[in-house]
Amino acid sequence: MRSWEKRDIVDVLKDHHTDLNKASKELANGGDNEGSNEIDNDAIVIENYLETEHNLEWDGIQFLKIENK
């Protein structure tokens, strides 16, 4: 089995979300608000996907499993 086959899409998206949040803060601190907003939009797309497809909700620090609504 190849290493990429061992990873779950949810784990990949969680890791990417973390990277996006860090990059967004760095851009905002450097004065690039437009770039920061663009990255924030990508993070929101990930948050929405994980919430609607995998019942995970971003609480501002981590993703939490939510019970069926």
Cα–Cα distance between 25 and 18 in angstroms, integer?
11
Does pLDDT of 3 surpass 90?
A: no
Angle between helices 33-54 and 9-29 (to 10 degrees): 160
User: What is the pLDDT of the chain when averaged over all its residues?
Assistant: 91
Single pTM value for the model:
0.78
Angle at 16 between CA 11 and CA 17, to 5 degrees: 95
Residues facing residue 63 across a β-bridge: 58
Residue 7, classed as helix, strand or coil, is coil
Element (H, E) at 57: strand 56-58
Q: What is the pLDDT of residues 40-54, one digit of tens each?
A: 999 999 999 999 999
